[in-house]
Structure 1
Amino acid sequence: MTSEERFGVGEDGFVVKGIDRIIADQQNRARAMFGDDVDLTSGSALRKVLDAAALDTHALWRALESQYYGTFITTAEGPGLDLLGCDLGLRRRELRARGAVFLTIAQEEPGRRYALPQGTVVVTEPAAGKPLLAFRTTGPVILSTEEKTATVEAEAVTRGVDGNIPGGTKMSLDPEWARHNLDLGAAEVTAVAQETFHDGDMCESDAAYRARLLGVPRTVWTQEALLAQVLDVNGVRDAAIFDPLGGVEATRRTYGTFRFGSRAFSQERRTGSPYFFDIVVAAEPGWPWRQGESLVPGVYDEVLDVVRQWRPVSVFPDILAANQVDVGLRATLVVEAGHDEEAVRGAILDAVRASVNRLRLGHGVLHSDIVLGARTAAGVVDVQNVRLRRFAPAFGQTSYGGGTYGGSQELSVGENLDLAPDEIARFSVDTSMADLQVVVT
């Protein structure tokens, strides 16, 4: 071994001594102890003993390496990562149980189509000694007289093994959720678990858990610390905090009426005087906003409970619902002959949905991202005349940066769809805003 070779903890991390180096060192010590003429050929008894000991020594070095890297969040795995999470007060979350639900409609009106959107809440039937479990569909469903049944994936609202219900479990629409979000009239929708739900007994992966641990703020009362708690609430897709002391607060009625000549522009807040800030929350599709709109806890109430535990005295939040902007597009697809046009169109819509629904509050939809996603679909030669569309959001309680209200809008070719800080983009595969013309070469 040269003087430059170092094993163990060093400046570049932990360097493991390889099996070849261990065997060479053992043979050198054997020659020093028994003489240079000692038999170390592959068939000798001493060589076999040294090789067996080398394997154990190498396993010890690997264990030391694992223990060293297990002390860092970026490299720890399994139980070691769990221990680091305990130090930060953040445990590994259980997954939500998932499975297929078979929906059936009865007493429907002839000629009418009943749309059950993504996030439709179905609940198990009450039974003695068993809790009522709620599940949310992960995709839209259309029912009618011609199509009285449909199968859709659903996931449990509550994480954990309780959501692993057996196949054949009878369910129904959450009556409160249906009353606030649907207009079924005399129609009745029943559901049954088509298969045993799974994954409720599993925990999130090391990668997902590590990302949450790396995002844990090391401070008590900052925007980052509060935002981390809000984002961990069930049903929250994204959130943003607008602090008046960090910028101009345009939602207050005092804004624009300040008399600059009569008093100081800014002064320190007195201890005990009320102080307000805004939390804009974007909920996942179908998740109720207020308590009482469903058997599922409302996002507003859950966020409010979290903020109450974290806010200082006399600091009060205004929890506001984000404005959802439905995104669409119009484009011409040039497709190679022999490819299924509907399959190509469906693949592009799925890619656009995944791209748009990953965006956060205030993040606009880039024209280049849509074009790039469409060109990756199999069989697509070119994508031409791509125009983004938007449905204007419903008028909300807040507008940071000028949300657009009114009718729908179609942008020019190459123009990005910009969003205000309190707006969030959403794309649905079955949206009427998607118009894809296919040209076969």
Structure 2
Amino acid sequence: MVTITHAEPLTGGELRWPDVRYREVALRAPRSLWRVDAIEFAVSLIPGVRQVVVRDSWSGLDLSESVFGGFRFVERLFSTERDIASPYFVSVLVAPTPAALWEGPDGLRAAVEAEIEDLRPISIFPRVERAQEVGIGIAGLLTVEGLPLPAGSTDVVNASSPARALKVRLLDRVRAYVEGLRFGEPVRWAEVLHALMNEPGVADVTDLRLLRYPPGLDVVDLTDLATVDDLETFSCGENIRLLPTQVPVLVDDDTRLVVA
């Protein structure tokens, strides 16, 4: 009989991927070297990358060419071999995590470019671009039940430890939703309300409004001097729409969430 004992303590393991994250990237693993999902998969593994998308503005058929409709496809070649002497560009849009450094020799841009260098074929040049981050905030009145809140004015209640801890948990719920959105996906008011109402102790949320930092160009007053505190307040029930190159980021500010 053989007895196995562990004389030394186990070390390592702190750098492993979380199980949910590992399963997501494993399911997205490509089966070839040069494909859109291959680039996205390789870049998504770089520390500091929140999201990535590869866009090819020249892909597909160019129906504006006069050759289309002017010959029979059976009698002529549909396309010729790629001219390796002509450069071909694709855009790699990257959304970094809040703590990631973008510029510099050790920045995220350089790391992404180095990772892609081993994947790209000759004469294909990816352009690494940083996504525009749009700050998202929330404001509203909270009705709570079952929490040991002190008696007194609204300021006293909101300054108490139970109220502040509740707001931290609420922001964490909203952050999980916002950070899961893809490029250009709108921030939906109903989803934010759903996240808030799922927190134990929250009985009701009234006058919930989404905030945008900075405000959209359609509401900016160019006659006034803009400040860093400028924001756009959306109507109750209104979503925040983003451009395809924008990604939402939750602003860690709970001062506009008031426990009524």
Judge conservation of contact 1:391–1:409 (CA < 8 Å) in 2: yes
Q: Distance in 1 between matches of 2:93 and 2:236?
A: 31
Residue by residue over 1:331-358, the C-alpha shift from the partner in whole angstroms, topping out at 9 and shown as x without a partner, is: 1112237543333323212221222123
2:143 maps to which residue?
334
Judge conservation of contact 1:290–1:299 (CA < 8 Å) in 2: yes
The residue type equivalent to 1:408 in the other structure is L
1:363 maps to which residue?
185
Judge conservation of contact 2:84–2:122 (CA < 8 Å) in 1: no
Instruction: Please list every run of 5 or more consecutive structure 2 residues that lacks an aligned counterpart in the other structure.
Output: 1-10, 69-77, 150-162, 221-229
The residue type equivalent to 1:270 in the other structure is D
- Tell me the TM-score normalized by structure 2: 0.72
Taking the TM superposition and a 5 Å limit, the aligned residue runs for 1:102-117 are: none
* TM-aligned CA deviation for residue 330 of structure 1: 1.4
Aligned residues: 217
* TM-aligned CA deviation for residue 270 of structure 1: 2.9
* TM-aligned CA deviation for residue 226 of structure 1: 1.1
The residue type equivalent to 1:245 in the other structure is W
Taking the TM superposition and a 5 Å limit, the aligned residue runs for 1:290-439 are: 290-292=103-105, 297-336=106-145, 338-340=147-149, 341-392=163-214, 406=220, 408-429=231-252, 431=253, 435-439=256-260
> Does residue 1:233 correspond to 2:46, yes or no?
yes
Identity %: 30
1:217 maps to which residue?
30
2:99 maps to which residue?
286
Taking the TM superposition and a 5 Å limit, the aligned residue runs for 1:259-270 are: 270=83
Residue by residue over 1:42-63, the C-alpha shift from the partner in whole angstroms, topping out at 9 and shown as x without a partner, is: xxxxxxxxxxxxxxxxxxxxxx
The residue type equivalent to 2:202 in the other structure is V
Taking the TM superposition and a 5 Å limit, the aligned residue runs for 1:94-105 are: none
* TM-aligned CA deviation for residue 307 of structure 1: 1.2
Q: In structure 2, do the counterparts of structure 1 residues 273 and 415 end up closer, same or farther at CA, with 3 Å as the change threshold?
A: same
The residue type equivalent to 1:242 in the other structure is R
Residue by residue over 1:287-314, the C-alpha shift from the partner in whole angstroms, topping out at 9 and shown as x without a partner, is: 111224xxxx211111101111111111
Q: In structure 2, do the counterparts of structure 1 residues 244 and 388 end up closer, same or farther at CA, with 3 Å as the change threshold?
A: same
Instruction: Please list every run of 5 or more consecutive structure 1 residues that lacks an aligned counterpart in the other structure.
Output: 1-159, 162-198, 249-259, 394-401
Indicate the SS of the match to 2:118: helix
Q: Distance in 1 between matches of 2:129 and 2:219?
A: 17
* TM-aligned CA deviation for residue 282 of structure 1: 0.6
Q: Distance in 2 between matches of 1:300 and 1:224?
A: 19
1:165 maps to which residue?
none
Q: Distance in 2 between matches of 1:403 and 1:225?
A: 35
Residue by residue over 1:341-388, the C-alpha shift from the partner in whole angstroms, topping out at 9 and shown as x without a partner, is: 333323212221222123232222111111111112222111112111
Q: In structure 2, do the counterparts of structure 1 residues 286 and 405 end up closer, same or farther at CA, with 3 Å as the change threshold?
A: farther
Taking the TM superposition and a 5 Å limit, the aligned residue runs for 1:145-294 are: 200=14, 203-204=16-17, 208-246=21-59, 270-292=83-105
The residue type equivalent to 2:111 in the other structure is E
Q: In structure 2, do the counterparts of structure 1 residues 281 and 346 end up closer, same or farther at CA, with 3 Å as the change threshold?
A: same
Q: In structure 2, do the counterparts of structure 1 residues 222 and 403 end up closer, same or farther at CA, with 3 Å as the change threshold?
A: farther
Indicate the SS of the match to 1:244: coil
Q: Distance in 1 between matches of 2:52 and 2:44?
A: 7
1:146 maps to which residue?
none
Q: In structure 2, do the counterparts of structure 1 residues 290 and 272 end up closer, same or farther at CA, with 3 Å as the change threshold?
A: same
Q: Distance in 1 between matches of 2:20 and 2:99?
A: 28
The structure having more radius of gyration, on CA atoms, is: 1
* TM-aligned CA deviation for residue 405 of structure 1: 8.9
The residue type equivalent to 2:213 in the other structure is F
Judge conservation of contact 2:28–2:37 (CA < 8 Å) in 1: no
Q: Distance in 2 between matches of 1:245 and 1:417?
A: 29
The residue type equivalent to 2:250 in the other structure is F
The residue type equivalent to 2:49 in the other structure is V
Q: Distance in 1 between matches of 2:194 and 2:58?
A: 40
Judge conservation of contact 1:403–1:423 (CA < 8 Å) in 2: no
- Tell me the TM-score normalized by structure 1: 0.44
